[in-house]
Amino acid sequence: MGLDEALRQEGTAREIVSRVQQLRKKAALSPEDLVEVYYSCSDGSLLDVMKNHMDTIKETTRVELVTEEQMPARLRAKLIIENEEEINGLSSPPLSLPLPASSPRDPELLRPPPPPHVANM
């Protein structure tokens, strides 16, 4: 990879970081919220950027980037924000942010726990 390509990839990786941070902000998440961001991408150049800079993107954004195909069905109903924009002339991967498991807005967390099971003696 030449210097020009390396610089282009670094710039694209920074743009992906910016998009993820914008998603977090739009979703009103705090920096402490641990979330996964799901993406779908068929652009080979963009996939190369994500592969080559995944550690930096994860470390900077504090999110786990996971392919959309790996999104559990139960999370699809909990999507709180989605974004798809062009990044540096490349079609951006659609980014999806489901409600974090630790969020107090999660309806499953708001349900009271089931009563303890009492065994017959």
Q: Which residue has the higher pLDDT, 2 or 94?
A: 2
**Is the model's pTM score more than 0.75?**
no
Tell the burial category of 9 from Cβ atoms under 10 Å away from its Cβ (0-12, 13-18, 19+): buried
Average the pLDDT over 70-90 and give the result: 72
Q: Which residue has the higher pLDDT, 55 or 80?
A: 55
Residue 14: per-residue pLDDT? 93
